[in-house]
């Protein structure tokens, strides 16, 4: 996928608001890496912020959970600095026509390589303050899959899932649980 420009992103969002994006549960599964950012107010990419988050290996992993209709997904959002990883873990679900990826983080983890250094429970967010990503568009190209979403705070992000095999495996896991 070539870099999306701000006008393309806003047009994709306009279409998703009007018609819905049609993004399915299987399409969001996978290990996503942050690729590009836009602020709430601007249609220009935030290259320095995106570069910093890519340097910190910002990632969002979405995988199937137990067959619970209220929370069919597990989410992990993390950043890494060398072997040190800060990870937020929780649940997720798709809701609505656009759809929204609603989620809640239940635990904070600090890891050094495979070793868990710290684990803390996080308080649940008020229902009116529940975080979400409005899913705008997704697709694939020679480098893997991509997902465009706007967060509750108004910022836009493009995530990449470079491994088609990982997402296919996650989709098979979800199908087997149904």
Local confidence band at 172 (pLDDT 50, 70, 90 cut-offs) = very low
Q: Name the domain count of the chain.
A: 1
Q: Is residue 16 part of a domain?
A: yes
| pLDDT at residue 175, as a whole number | 42
Q: Which residue has the higher pLDDT, 166 or 66?
A: 66
User: How many Å apart are CA 17 and CA 13, to the nearest integer?
Assistant: 6
**Phi, psi dihedral angles at 17 (to 5 degrees):** -65, -40
Q: Is residue 115 part of a domain?
A: yes
Q: Is residue 65 part of a domain?
A: yes
pLDDT over 70 at 98, yes or no: yes
Q: Is residue 1 part of a domain?
A: no
Average pLDDT over residues 35-40: 88
Q: Is residue 50 part of a domain?
A: no
| pLDDT at residue 142, as a whole number | 82
Q: Is residue 81 part of a domain?
A: yes
User: How many Å apart are CA 166 and CA 135, to the nearest integer?
Assistant: 20
**Phi, psi dihedral angles at 85 (to 5 degrees):** -130, 130
Local confidence band at 44 (pLDDT 50, 70, 90 cut-offs) = confident
**Phi, psi dihedral angles at 7 (to 5 degrees):** -70, -40
Q: What is the CA radius of gyration of the chain?
A: 16
Q: Is residue 154 part of a domain?
A: yes
pLDDT over 80 at 13, yes or no: yes
Local confidence band at 100 (pLDDT 50, 70, 90 cut-offs) = very high
pLDDT over 90 at 56, yes or no: yes
User: How many Å apart are CA 147 and CA 35, to the nearest integer?
Assistant: 10
| pLDDT at residue 166, as a whole number | 44
Instruction: Find the angle CA(137)-CA(166)-CA(48) to the nearest 5 degrees.
Output: 55
Q: Is residue 78 part of a domain?
A: yes
8 three-class SS? helix
Supply the range of the domain harboring residue 124: 6-45+55-177
Other CB atoms within 10 Å distance of the CB of residue 7: 9
| pLDDT at residue 37, as a whole number | 93
Least confidently predicted of 12-16, 45-49, 69-73, 109-113: 69-73
**Of residues 25, 56, 14, 7, the one with CA closest to residue 147:** 25
40 three-class SS? coil
Whether the CB-CB separation of 117 and 111 falls below 8 Å is answered with: yes
pLDDT in tens, 113-170: 999 999 999 999 888 888 999 999 999 888 889 999 999 988 899 999 986 554 444 4
**Phi, psi dihedral angles at 82 (to 5 degrees):** 65, -125
Q: Look up the CATH number of the domain holding residue 111.
A: 2.40.128
User: How many Å apart are CA 69 and CA 158, to the nearest integer?
Assistant: 27
User: How many Å apart are CA 162 and CA 17, to the nearest integer?
Assistant: 27
């Amino acid at each position: 996928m070539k870099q999306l420009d701000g006008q393309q992103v806003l047009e994709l969002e306009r279409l998703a608001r009007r018609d819905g994006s049609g993004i399915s549960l299987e399409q969001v599964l996978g290990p996503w890496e942050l690729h590009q950012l836009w602020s709430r107010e601007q249609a220009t990419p935030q290259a320095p912020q995106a570069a910093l988050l890519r340097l910190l290996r910002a990632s969002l992993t979405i995988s199937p959970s137990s067959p619970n209709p209220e929370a069919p997904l597990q989410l992990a959002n993390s950043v890494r600095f060398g072997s040190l990883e800060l990870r937020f873990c929780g649940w997720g679900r798709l809701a609505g026509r656009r759809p929204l990826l609603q989620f809640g983080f239940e635990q904070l983890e600090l890891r050094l390589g495979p070793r868990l250094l710290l684990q803390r429970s996080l308080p649940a967010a008020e229902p009116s303050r529940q975080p979400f990503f409005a899913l705008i568009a997704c697709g694939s190209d020679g480098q893997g899959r991509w997902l465009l979403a706007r967060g509750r705070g108004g910022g836009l992000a493009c995530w990449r899932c470079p491994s088609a095999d990982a997402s296919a495996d996650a989709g098979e896991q979800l199908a087997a649980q149904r």
